[in-house]
């Protein structure tokens, strides 16, 4: 019956029917000339956007912990009701929302958010279905053992492939925990899509290690995606000052935080011993020049921007731009900074069913990039 609701959504007009905003701004980039159309405004820190079959979208607002269904044609923004209790404040709230790859068959939606109480919070991941804009069948899949007395460095990005769910968990502002396997802080976890722990996870059966951990030594990863053709898992993470990293995530690997880092303490001074490489710890594939605070991640596959096919997009909160990387033979060969300081801080990037690029701007807007 739940699936019938989505069948109704499929009958709605596709997103490409949405009108062009008169506020659009012409942009010229290396490989594309495009306009930026503000499609929606008045949101509060939109952090994730995912398109439903039929072209409507779910939009999560971080610091108000709201989830809404947006119809680009009617412009209605309908609140999703019956969310779980969510801790808000500082960096807390909702962190991500994604669909199961077989969503059309099973209707599962995955949500990560801040659970607990403000003085003792952690990251939780639920899945649920939607019926008439209400959550139903909600199941708790994961409660991170990553509690903190403040509301910082949650991570919380989600990705699913081949029925495995991956979850980034920040170091919770307790950096030494990222090297410990007895808690989930500073790790990427891997679960079955129903929350069970896979028996082939790298630390299953090891003493003093949690079996959900897939990789560790992370600081605050706010981007996680599978490459659509190679199936590789990519993540980026906020380093300290100027230490943001792009990483290819491998089973059981240690990404080094806080032992090695290309960044500095915000108040000045080195991280630990101030070293950038060490045996047994992974090197990033890219360390952004002087830091950009990346959030959200997309391997663009659309045809609307042929020059951007295969590019890795992410928002950049500190430098306020849309970041584009080209990767060839496992190396970053091009970085482009688009729309620099023209909009709010960009927290998410999505590809629409129309092949256009959608971004969430911290000034409460959803923007769409359209070739000119």
Residues that bind a copy of itself (CB under 8 A): 30-31, 241-242, 262, 264-265, 268-270, 273-276, 283-284, 286-290, 307, 326, 328-329, 331-338, 340
Beta carbon nearer to a copy of itself, 7 or 275: 275
Q: How far is the CB of 274 from a copy of itself (least distance, A)?
A: 4
| Nearest-angstrom CA–CA distance, 264 and 237 | 14
Q: How far is the CB of 175 from a copy of itself (least distance, A)?
A: 16
Q: How far is the CB of 114 from a copy of itself (least distance, A)?
A: 31
Long-range contact pairs involving 62-70 (C-beta distance under 8 Å, separation at least 24): 62/93, 62/94, 62/95, 62/347, 63/88, 63/89, 63/92, 63/93, 64/88, 64/93, 65/93, 65/94, 65/113, 65/114, 66/94, 67/94, 67/97, 67/111, 69/130, 69/133, 70/40, 70/366
Q: How far is the CB of 272 from a copy of itself (least distance, A)?
A: 10
Beta carbon nearer to a copy of itself, 36 or 191: 36
Q: How far is the CB of 313 from a copy of itself (least distance, A)?
A: 14
| Nearest-angstrom CA–CA distance, 237 and 287 | 10
Beta carbon nearer to a copy of itself, 72 or 256: 256
Beta carbon nearer to a copy of itself, 42 or 268: 268
User: In three state form, how does the secondary structure of 140-194 look?
Assistant: EEEECCCCECCCCCCEEEEEEECCEEEEEECCCCCHHHHHCCCCCCCEEEEEECC
- Bridge partners (DSSP) of residue 146 are none
Give the angle 257-260-266 at the CA atoms, nearest 5°: 75
Beta carbon nearer to a copy of itself, 141 or 346: 346
* Structure token pair of residue 60: 């999560």
Q: How far is the CB of 297 from a copy of itself (least distance, A)?
A: 17
Give the angle 55-56-58 at the CA atoms, nearest 5°: 130
Beta carbon nearer to a copy of itself, 128 or 262: 262
Beta carbon nearer to a copy of itself, 185 or 316: 316
Strands 57-61, 46-51: pairing is: antiparallel
Is the Cβ–Cβ distance between 119 and 71 less than 8 Å? no
Q: How far is the CB of 125 from a copy of itself (least distance, A)?
A: 32
Q: How far is the CB of 177 from a copy of itself (least distance, A)?
A: 23
Instruction: Give the SS3 label for residue 196.
Output: coil
Beta carbon nearer to a copy of itself, 147 or 262: 262
Nearest Cα to 123, choosing from 217, 61, 186? Answer: 186
End-to-end CA distance of the chain: 42
Q: How far is the CB of 335 from a copy of itself (least distance, A)?
A: 5
Is the Cβ–Cβ distance between 311 and 302 less than 8 Å? no
Query: How many CB atoms neighbour CB 358 within 10 A?
Result: 24
Beta carbon nearer to a copy of itself, 58 or 325: 325
């Amino acid at each position: 019956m739940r699936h019938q609701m989505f069948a109704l959504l499929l009958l709605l007009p596709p997103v490409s029917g949405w009108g062009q905003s008169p506020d659009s701004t012409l942009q010229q980039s290396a490989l594309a000339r495009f306009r930026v159309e503000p499609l929606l405004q008045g949101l509060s820190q939109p952090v994730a956007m995912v398109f439903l079959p039929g072209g409507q979208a779910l939009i999560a607002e971080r610091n108000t912990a709201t989830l809404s269904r947006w119809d680009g044609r009617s412009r209605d923004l309908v609140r999703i009701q019956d969310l779980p209790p969510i801790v808000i404040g500082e960096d807390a709230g909702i962190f991500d929302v994604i669909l199961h790859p077989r969503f059309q068959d099973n209707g599962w939606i995955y949500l990560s958010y801040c659970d607990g109480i403000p003085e003792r919070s952690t990251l939780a991941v639920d899945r649920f279905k939607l019926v008439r804009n209400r959550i139903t069948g909600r199941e708790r899949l994961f409660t991170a053992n990553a509690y903190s007395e403040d509301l910082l460095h949650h991570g919380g990005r989600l990705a699913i492939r081949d029925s495995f769910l991956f979850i980034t968990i920040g170091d919770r502002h307790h950096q030494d925990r990222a090297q410990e396997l007895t808690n989930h802080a500073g790790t990427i976890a891997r679960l079955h899509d129903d929350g069970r722990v896979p028996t082939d996870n790298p630390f299953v059966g090891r003493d003093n290690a949690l079996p959900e951990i897939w990789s560790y030594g992370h600081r605050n990863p706010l981007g996680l995606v599978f490459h659509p053709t190679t199936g590789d898992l990519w993540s980026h993470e906020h380093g300290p000052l100027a230490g943001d990293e792009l990483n290819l995530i491998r089973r059981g690997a240690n990404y080094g935080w806080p032992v090695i880092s290309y960044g500095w303490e915000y108040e000045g001074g080195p991280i630990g011993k101030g070293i950038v490489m060490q045996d047994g710890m992974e090197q990033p594939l890219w360390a952004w020049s002087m830091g950009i605070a990346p959030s959200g991640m997309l391997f663009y596959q659309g045809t609307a921007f042929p020059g951007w096919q295969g590019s890795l997009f992410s928002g950049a909160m500190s430098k306020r731009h849309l970041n584009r990387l080209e990767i060839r033979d496992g190396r970053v060969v091009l970085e482009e900074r688009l729309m620099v300081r023209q909009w709010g801080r960009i927290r998410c990037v999505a590809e629409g069913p129309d092949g256009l690029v959608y971004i969430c701007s911290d000034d409460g807007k959803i923007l769409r990039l359209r070739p000119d």
